[in-house]
Every structure is written in C-alpha cells, then in structure tokens.
Amino acid sequence: MSTWIVFLRAVNIGARAYPMAELRSVLNEAGYGDVETHIQTGNVRLTSPLRSRAKLEAALEALFERDRGFPVVTMAFTSKELTRVARDATALGEAGPAAYGQYVSLLKETPSAADARRVEGLSRDGERIAVRDRAVHFLFDVPYHAAKVSNAAIEKILGPATNRNVKVINALAEKWG
C-alpha cells in the first residue's frame, strides 16, 4: 500500500460543499485505507494499492464527481514530496521573510523549465514567486487580497493548482510527512 497526501481544489467554497466527515466516509467506502483529513479545505491522507500518482488522481476525481456531482481537481503527493515542499517553503522564507504571508500553490504536473521561469518572471515589488518542482511559492510583502499575482494567474500558465497557506503545508508535513 502506498501512502498519499491528497489536496482537493476549491472545495467548501460557496456551493462546492464537501464536509470532511462525508469525504472520509466516501473514501473508506471506496476501499482507501488510513483515511485522515486536516481542517476543512480538502487535505487528505490515505493509503491505496495504486502506485501511480496519475491513476490515483483520476480514480479520486471520478469518485468525488460521482459523489458530489461536480468536478474536484485533485493533486496527490507522497509524504517525501510534501516534506520537500515544506523544506523549500522554509528555506525561501528564511532567505527573505514575507511581511504579509507565504503561500504555496500545489500543481498537478511538474512545469517545464521555461514555464517555471515564466511564472517566476511574474514576480514584482512585494510579490516574490519561486517554482520548486510541483509547488509555486508566493512570498507577499503586500496583503494577500492586494496581490496582483494569484493562483488563477499561475493556472493559466501551469495548469490546475490548489493554494494553501505555508502554515498548513508545514503542519501537514509535520503530521504526515
């Protein structure tokens, strides 16, 4: 059995409700093991016989859409990958702390070097962006709501992504990494 940390995009926003108790129940009924969730934003740890990230994501997306009636884009990471994302976030924050916070967009696919440079080129005063593997790190010296660069802008270049506060990433890496 492989252990996966799964991030669901845009759940529990508006009409896209997916209470974590119901999510855990659906996953358990579908045969996934050791299912745990963390807060209400779609952070899940589970075990599966599937070893392919792409196959797991496809299976989960199909399951969630059947259960909810709307698509739920899903990004799966191994514990080791999640720990690396947290380490990268810590190193970037230590290199230049962000006055208004640090966020991470978790990507479905690893971007090409050219696309990573393109995204990093969106950096501006008060908004630093660094791409590390399947994670885009935002370090803001402006309030989040005032930032010009967003997860939506990143998705236009790199495809599906889901955003988390670095505190959540660190908590998950400590808990499940």
The tens digit of pLDDT for each residue in 56-66 reads 999 999 999 99
Model confidence at 70, pLDDT cuts 50, 70, 90, reads very high
Q: Is the pLDDT of residue 96 over 90?
A: no
Nearest 5 degrees, angle CA 139-CA 114-CA 103?
20
Distance from C-alpha of 60 to C-alpha of 98, rounded to nearest angstrom: 35
Domains present along the chain, CATH in parentheses: 2-77 (3.30.70.1280), 79-176 (no CATH)
Which pTM does this prediction carry? 0.94
